[in-house]
Structure 1
């Protein structure tokens, strides 16, 4: 009876050993495949990565002015009236110079008390009313004439807070800068490839690293109105703007 039981158990033991052996063999094969993959990375990892930068110089086609008035008087009503009259004259003059209403936008309006202090005690001595408008000049060649006329119209309460030049529609110039950036990247890739004794293939990926819109050129402006009796026009120079685009490109190698 004992011999018969042993004969029945032996096949089960052998089958378990066989299963373990198969599992170990499978693990060994899988490990070998992973080792082979690590030793031979995918071909799409091979290539050359370069950056390219493109520049485009552009002449501005619009000017943007920041004009304001600031009047001080003993009462809010008096100060507001002086400021309002001056601003009306400024805007009327801008209109006579061809500036459309849509190109004039109110940016700021403020009423502030003027204080006098004695031994820590404050006393209101008057009020200052200020307002500011943003003006877009599309006739850029007449910027100086328009600016001087607006200052003269507003009188001594006129304030010029800044002037800048920019481009109304920069998209086509940004596209040119991008094309220049791609050419620059290809030039760099070709130089590296030639040094390594290989050739540049097709571009596998292109990533834009950023582009800069036209940067306005600030022009220092007078804090208050220029003397109205001066016959010398205000010098205004639009200059040029520079747009930039940057890309990262991965090329295949041949």
Structure 2
């Protein structure tokens, strides 16, 4: 027989052979063969979060107090409230509070009603007058004395003291630095566990610092104690500041 007749390849077979041939090339050879640049390598990185916390002894406090009085006559209610406020301010100044540490500008006057079923309408019964007192205390050993003086003077609304530190910004920065170190330690642990090398930081974002959290410790109450803190069983303990971050670190090839 003369030379065997060659059967032309069909289109699907041609594509399969071409794909197999191209797959056998390296990225560089493929780039040279096709004239197109190789696809960029996917970045290798690890994402972690970090948390930090610092604690400190508070050195000041903020007291939120209030006086409220209900009376049929608004002037009477207002006079009684103002009398209590003046009495407490005098006691607070005896304990060492200065004018710049006291705020008494909050005033509220609200009419009070009750529903009259017979008349089918609200009936005015009087007026509730309220005043707010904010006191910034810089001597925590007198905190209990300020509270005792408030109730003694007729103050009838007392919020829990808000403990603070004059170094609040410094504490926030320390907590943030601790959070960053925690994120780096986590990333390093993950990289070493998986047998890769940790590279530089790609990005880092602060999640924000939480407000100081007071950790108030109780004391045994002593009726014979001379100072207000011991008499009320108050111990200021410490405050804690927390911060957190999200970070991404490169993984070295």
On whether the aligned pair clears a TM of 0.5, the verdict is yes
Note if 1:83 corresponds to 2:81: yes
1:177: Cα distance to partner?
Answer: 1.0
Q: Which has the higher helix share?
A: 1
1:54: Cα distance to partner?
Answer: 1.0
Aligned to 1:205, the other structure's residue is in SS state strand
What do the CA deviations read for 1:224-252 (whole angstroms, capped 9, x no partner)? xxxxxxx9933333233221121222333
What do the CA deviations read for 1:26-69 (whole angstroms, capped 9, x no partner)? xx98x7525x124x34xxx2333322111112222221111111
Structure 1 residue corresponding to 2:39, chosen from 37, 40, 58: 37
Note if 1:251 corresponds to 2:243: no
User: In the alignment, which residue of structure 2 is the partner of 1:133?
Assistant: 133
Report if the CA contact (8 A) 1:50-1:185 is conserved.
yes
Q: Distance in 2 between matches of 1:80 and 1:193?
A: 69
Q: Distance in 1 between matches of 2:201 and 2:216?
A: 40
User: In the alignment, which residue of structure 1 is the partner of 2:163?
Assistant: 165
Report if the CA contact (8 A) 1:50-1:250 is conserved.
yes
1:172: Cα distance to partner?
Answer: 0.9
| Matched residue count | 209
Q: What is the TM-score normalised by the length of structure 1?
A: 0.71
1:131: Cα distance to partner?
Answer: 0.8
Note the residue ranges of structure 2 that are not aligned, 5 or more in a row: 1-30, 218-227
Q: How does 1:1-254 map to 2 (within 5 A)?
A: 32-34=35-37, 36-38=38-40, 40-41=41-42, 45-106=43-104, 108-118=106-116, 119=118, 120-153=120-153, 155=154, 158-215=156-213, 233-254=231-252
Q: Distance in 2 between matches of 1:164 and 1:70?
A: 21
Report if the CA contact (8 A) 1:203-1:251 is conserved.
yes
Q: Distance in 2 between matches of 1:74 and 1:47?
A: 71
Aligned to 2:161, the other structure's residue is in SS state strand
RMSD: 2.9
Report if the CA contact (8 A) 1:174-1:213 is conserved.
no
Aligned to 2:106, the other structure's residue is in SS state strand
Report if the CA contact (8 A) 1:79-1:128 is conserved.
yes
What do the CA deviations read for 1:188-228 (whole angstroms, capped 9, x no partner)? 12211212222223333322222223145799xxxxxxxxx
1:112: Cα distance to partner?
Answer: 2.6
Q: What is the TM-score normalised by the length of structure 2?
A: 0.71
